[in-house]
Amino acid sequence: MKTRFRLILMLLMISSIGFAQEIQVSGTVTGNEDNMPLPGVSVIISGTARGTSTDFDGNYTLKANQGDVLEFSFVGFKSASVTVGSSSTIDVVLETDVAALDEVVVVGYGTQKKADLTGSIATVKAEEIEKTPAANVMQSMQGKVAGVQIVSAGTPGDSPTVRIRGLGTFGSGTNVLYVVDGMFYDNIDFLNSKDIESINVLKDASSSAIYGVRAANGVVLITTKTGRKNSKPVFEYDGYSGVQFAQNVVQMANAEQFVTMAYESGSEADVQFVLNAMERFGRSRVNPNLPNVNTDWYDEIMREGLISNHSISASGGGENVAYSVGANYLSQEGILDMKNEYERFNIRTKVDVDLSDRFKIGSNLVFSNATKYLPENSAWFKAYFAVPILPVYDFQNTDATPTPYANARAIGYRGSQNPFPDLRYNNNRQKIRKVQTNFYVQTEIIPEKLTFKTVYNANLAAIEQRNVSLPFNIGYGDQRISSISRSDNTYFNQIWDNTLTYEDNFGDHNITLLGGASFRDEAYNSLSGSGGDIRGIQLESSWYLDFSDPDPETRTVSENGRRYYGMSYFARAAYNYKGKYLLYGTIRADGSSKFTQDPWGYFPSVGAGWVISEEGFMQDNGIFDFLKLRAAWGKLGNDNVAPSSGANTTSEVIIAAGNEPLSGVTATSTFTNNTWEVVEEKNFGLNMITLNNRLSIDADYYIRDTHDAIMPVYIPIANVTLQRNSGQIRNQGVEIVLNWNESVNENFSYSIGANFTTLKNETISIEDSRGYIDSGSAEFRQRTMEGEPILAFFGYERIGVYQNQAQIDADPTAQAAIDAGQNIQPGDLIYRDQNGDGQITDEDRVVLGSFLPKFTYGGNIGVNYKNWGFSASFYGQSGNKILNRKRGEIIFTNDTNMDADLAKNRWHGEGTSNEYPSSAGLRKSWNQKLSDFWIEDGDFFRIQNIQLSYTIKGTKLLNGKFPETRLTLTADRPFTFFKYNGFDPEVPNGVDRQTYPIPAVYTVGINVKI
């Protein structure tokens, strides 16, 4: 190898002696917008392989002959060609390529030119992601990509829910596939936003089919930052700090409103509780008919949370090596007032080495060490229910230790209600350690044509969970001894990919072929144990199972594990003629041990495109700078589903026989035996750039069908719900993205972007003995039926409230109910008799809406003036419904508190409300049926992010050595507008019971590059 290298050098030297006209050319390459030097620009002598690239200051030097043409190219800029004349200095200004059509897009196992794409791929750049101060990368994508719905998670460290083009599968397997530098993930909570180079969302089946397996919910390709060869090291610090506040806090009924409701309920017991409260806590001096307590529980359980993030990184490269290394620390407090926080420390290195011009080798490593203290989400729910006439502390509650928390049982209620014991006496910690590594070797078998690459990826995640229940007593039987439960969960996933890529052109015919094989191994193991009555529980240092009661029967231990294997073969062909006519096809064969019926699935895709603007008749048309029509079809498999067992399985059980445990075995009588869930998608798209490269329009229409959808089918008599291939689900919609960019002059530029998405989710067919699939609980039913969205809310349609007795007497459905023993009074809800049989029965239930939004939209505005930058983005959705289950659970315990909206707007006399029942009505089964009274619109509009920045650059300070510095002020999700009676309309599955509210975040940031 070395010998050959020397030989080439010698040849080069000889050739330089041979041609005397050769001169040394040097110069600086700068960008047209900011006149800043561009490092890493490729400078090549046209028609040769000779060239160089610019250094950190944009300078280059090379030897060339007069008459040679130098080609300057750089990602994001239009290429420029300059003929070498007599001058030895050639400075070049590169124009920003607004359309960035030469931009290369990462597709599965390779790259493609954006202009050549036939499928639907959206790209989000690093600077867009960095604007959002969030622990999770995907949070930053919210509202930025058409067709991608992101539902925020409020809990620090939790990942948002991401859906690409609707929801086509049941159960938990709805995660999109994340491919980070080639490795597959369900969850990318270990990634720091700052380490990301680009994110590509493969939306349609044709684009993602190369990933076949698991691609059915869409693919998000993430490339982490790489160093650039021949560039000076760049050291960068980036950090921000800020505060998070709860937004749109639900207004609860205060003591006065609550007491009014209690008196109006007609329940003696409820009145008695109020009297008990007055007896115990005294009477209010303002209104002596109220207890001297008015607790706002949400106010009590929340706090402000701090967030901060600090990253340092260095990247650069020499002649043969490129590197990028960094470290990052993030800490985020939750807004729930307990030990609730997230802390993450990351280290990252990425190195690529050219062993020779044929052999490349590289490795990538991310180590992430996070600690997460999980919230007790039950507190959100309890704070809703806890009565305002109960204080936080009750010093008369002398049994309570160690803190005299008030217990609602003291004034007669059934439960203790007070959320504080949950908050103070629980400590739920997760230590999350993840290591992601990959290693590749790449060799060119035929130079620049045939490449072989083998990549091994390994991903180790260890999650140590420790839940400590501290002992407490709040009197009235609400007492607990200490206990600890521990679990060690280890995930180890490996992927080994081998690919052969062949690229060539024959005249105007350009062709790329790829073939490969991939082996996957996903293993999971969980070992857990628990013990009680911990000695020394007051000290965190003794929170180990060793200190629990040593009686072996009081300690439990359990283990479960799974391991899945997958094997895939795939191929891709991309062809274009003069960049005008595009053809694209992939095929992938996947085997997965999750499917016992037939582990193999075959997933083809094809695509075609026509770049009309390249046609002769379109040249210099003055309207379209670029115009492409494209169509694609593809199939892909989803193995992100519950695995089939393929056989009856057994469980160990115990019974009691004379107070002695006896162990035995039970077996299942039904089992799953599934084949692949297959997504088939058609996508039609248009890309257009017009008005002098200022306006770009991308539009897509898609129909996405899930065949053999694995659904929870009910098996009657055996009374089990089996995950079985049993239906077809369709998602279809239109996505439109508009972008306007303009540089008015050197100092001033602006951009405006908007995206719109429609979604129609529909169940096409179901194979179930009942013809429908029920989800949710009996009281809060969600039903999937043919012709309706999946998991739709299902209940009665409320058409008003009975205002007076005459109205009841005149209504046959009310009379039928009275005849059946119901007690219908003014203030009760009126339901629509859908089937017109004169009575309200189960058959009158209809679909009341879906939690999937029908329309989502996002937008952004960016303005740059000299060193100032301002950006704002917004996001909204409409057409989705939320089941307000916090409110709805009044059907289980109806003597507790409720939100102020319900208390204020209740029916309390003729004409007072035609929407809400009376206080007494809330306690009747008639009004407690699931109806659209409990289901609310989830429409919202939000100012997603506002950022103001100032960049200090090229200043004379410190003799011009003052580093490039950028200061930012960011308000993330500062304002949300909605009508829903809850904290936040972002509820992942549409059922709001104890959703962690999404805080607004205000931060100050600084970025320094040296």
By C-beta, is 164 or 920 nearer to another protein?
920
- Closest-CA residue to 711 (of 788, 783, 761): 783
Minimum distance, C-beta of residue 787 to another protein, in the bound complex (Å): 17
CB 307 within 8 A of CB 241: yes
Minimum distance, C-beta of residue 91 to another protein, in the bound complex (Å): 42
Residue bearing tokens 């684009």: 207
By C-beta, is 821 or 960 nearer to another protein?
821
By C-beta, is 162 or 484 nearer to another protein?
484
Instruction: Report the relative pairing of strands 991-992 and 964-978 from DSSP bridges.
Output: unpaired
Minimum distance, C-beta of residue 244 to another protein, in the bound complex (Å): 37
Minimum distance, C-beta of residue 39 to another protein, in the bound complex (Å): 35
By C-beta, is 619 or 659 nearer to another protein?
659
Q: Cα torsion at 590, 592, 594, 596 (round to 10°)?
A: 90
Minimum distance, C-beta of residue 687 to another protein, in the bound complex (Å): 36
Minimum distance, C-beta of residue 658 to another protein, in the bound complex (Å): 4
Minimum distance, C-beta of residue 719 to another protein, in the bound complex (Å): 3
* β-bridge partners, 321: 353
Helix (H) or strand (E) holding 689: strand 677-690
Minimum distance, C-beta of residue 650 to another protein, in the bound complex (Å): 5
Q: Give Cβ neighbours of residue 913 (< 8 Å, ≥ 6 apart).
A: 801, 905, 906, 907
DSSP 408-473: GGGGT-SS---SHHHHHSEEEEEEEEEEEEEEEEEEEEETTTEEEEEEEEEEEEEEEEEEEE--EE
By C-beta, is 2 or 285 nearer to another protein?
2
By C-beta, is 478 or 984 nearer to another protein?
478
Which CA distances in Å does 655 have to 553, 560, 651, 666? 14, 22, 13, 12
- Calpha distance 977→984 (Å, rounded): 9
* β-bridge partners, 633: 606, 682
Minimum distance, C-beta of residue 532 to another protein, in the bound complex (Å): 4
Minimum distance, C-beta of residue 370 to another protein, in the bound complex (Å): 27
By C-beta, is 288 or 477 nearer to another protein?
477
By C-beta, is 591 or 985 nearer to another protein?
591
By C-beta, is 333 or 828 nearer to another protein?
828
With 0-12 / 13-18 / 19 or more C-beta atoms within 10 angstroms meaning exposed / middle / buried, residue 341 is: buried
Minimum distance, C-beta of residue 541 to another protein, in the bound complex (Å): 22
- Calpha distance 710→170 (Å, rounded): 7
CA 812 to the chain's CA centroid: 50
- Closest-CA residue to 406 (of 252, 7, 398, 414): 398
Tokens standing for residue 876: 């909204």
CA-based max dimension of the chain = 111
**CB-facing half-sphere around the CA of 29: CA atoms within 13 A:** 30
Q: Cα torsion at 717, 722, 727, 729 (round to 10°)?
A: 130
Tokens standing for residue 705: 């069908």
Coil/strand/helix, residue 786: coil
Minimum distance, C-beta of residue 776 to another protein, in the bound complex (Å): 12
By C-beta, is 13 or 654 nearer to another protein?
654
Phi, psi (degrees; rounded to nearest 5) at 623: -115, -60
Minimum distance, C-beta of residue 648 to another protein, in the bound complex (Å): 4
Alpha helices in 492-563 (DSSP H): none
By C-beta, is 527 or 734 nearer to another protein?
527
Residue bearing tokens 């203290």: 373
By C-beta, is 190 or 384 nearer to another protein?
384
By C-beta, is 557 or 957 nearer to another protein?
557
Minimum distance, C-beta of residue 146 to another protein, in the bound complex (Å): 37
Minimum distance, C-beta of residue 517 to another protein, in the bound complex (Å): 5
By C-beta, is 296 or 521 nearer to another protein?
521
Which CA distances in Å does 666 have to 561, 646, 650, 955? 19, 17, 6, 77
DSSP 56-121: TTSEEEEEE-TT-EEEEE-TTB--EEEE--S-SB--EEEPB-SS-TT-EEEETTEEEEGGG--S-E
CA 532 to the chain's CA centroid: 37
For helices 268-281 and 255-264, angle between their N-to-C axes, nearest 10 degrees: 150
By C-beta, is 646 or 974 nearer to another protein?
646
By C-beta, is 565 or 610 nearer to another protein?
565
By C-beta, is 11 or 446 nearer to another protein?
446
Buried b / exposed e across 303-321, counting CB within 10 Å, b at 16+?
bebebbbbbbbebbbeeee
- Calpha distance 577→554 (Å, rounded): 74
Minimum distance, C-beta of residue 842 to another protein, in the bound complex (Å): 5
CB 548 within 8 A of CB 493: no
Minimum distance, C-beta of residue 706 to another protein, in the bound complex (Å): 22
Q: Which strands form 51-53's sheet, in the order they lie side by side?
A: 51-53, 42-45, 69-73, 80-83
By C-beta, is 206 or 931 nearer to another protein?
931
Minimum distance, C-beta of residue 835 to another protein, in the bound complex (Å): 14
- Calpha distance 551→562 (Å, rounded): 31
